Amino acid sequence: MNITSREALISALQQDSEAFQQAVAQLSEQSFERGVYEQGWNARQLLAHIAAIEWTYPRLIERAQERASGGDAPQGGGGGFDMDAYNARQVERREDQPVEQLLTEFRRNRAATIDAIRAADESLLSQPTRSAGGVEGTLLEVLISVTVGHVREHVDDLLDGAQKP
């Protein structure tokens, strides 16, 4: 990915949001019940994961702002945090939600992510940070990895799973 600025990141987020929603639209109802991911998740569960995790990305910016202003906001990925257990809980909470509700949650959370990036001071994007999953780099690099890279990987998972017999 050659994303080197806030504007390029926002553009990628918008494009990937559309690509993700188009991928979901391609799935048949039966596809949502097929396994598509290494965690054993089916397409509906993977959609729930993507919708759920998106709300956490603005928090990366908030933590960078707190650290930049002299606060001692903890870095992500610290001791004792079990990412797999967290993800499983979030998916389980959404188990009975219909696809359209999960897409609505994703769109709302993606819009909040984009708004937070737009509102952030440009200097924050060069601040060192770490995500809850342990991705390290500048805030821009971490955001690229966890927002753009993460969703692109899962779009591939969804589409590959839809092609299974």
SS (HEC) of the chain: CCCCCHHHHHHHHHHHHHHHHHHHHHCCCHHHHCECCCCCCEHHHHHHHHHHHHHHHHHHHHHHHHHHCCCCCCCCCCCCCCHHHHHHHHHHHCCCCCHHHHHHHHHHHHHHHHHHHHHCCHHHHHCEEECCCCCEEEHHHHHHHHHHHHHHHHHHHHHHHHCCC
Q: What would the mean pLDDT of 92-111 be, rounded to a whole number?
A: 94
Confidence of residue 17 (pLDDT cuts 50, 70, 90): very high
Predicted local distance difference test score (pLDDT) of residue 78: 55
Q: What pLDDT, on the 0 to 100 scale, is given for residue 30?
A: 84
Which pLDDT score is estimated for 28? 84
Tens-digit pLDDT profile for residues 68-89: 887 665 555 555 678 888 888 9
Which tops the pLDDT comparison, 164 or 107?
107
What predicted TM-score, i.e. pTM, was given to this entire model?
A: 0.87
Which of 15, 6, 18 lies closest to 116 in space, CA to CA? 6
CA distance 44 to 94: 9
Domains of the chain, start order: 6-162 (1.20.120.450)
pLDDT above 90 (res 11): yes
| pLDDT given for residue 35 in this prediction | 73
pLDDT at position 165:
56
Tens of pLDDT along 118-155? 999 999 999 998 888 888 999 999 999 999 988 888 88
Given this model, what pLDDT does residue 37 score? Answer: 73
- The answer to whether 97 and 48 have CB atoms below 8 angstroms apart is yes
For residues 102 and 94, give the distance between their C-alpha atoms in angstroms, rounded to a whole number. Answer: 8
* Phi/psi-derived region of residue 164, left when phi > 0, alpha when psi is between -120 and 50, beta in every other case: beta
Reported as a single tens digit per residue, the pLDDT across 18-74 is: 988 988 888 888 888 877 776 688 888 989 999 999 888 999 999 888 888 876 655
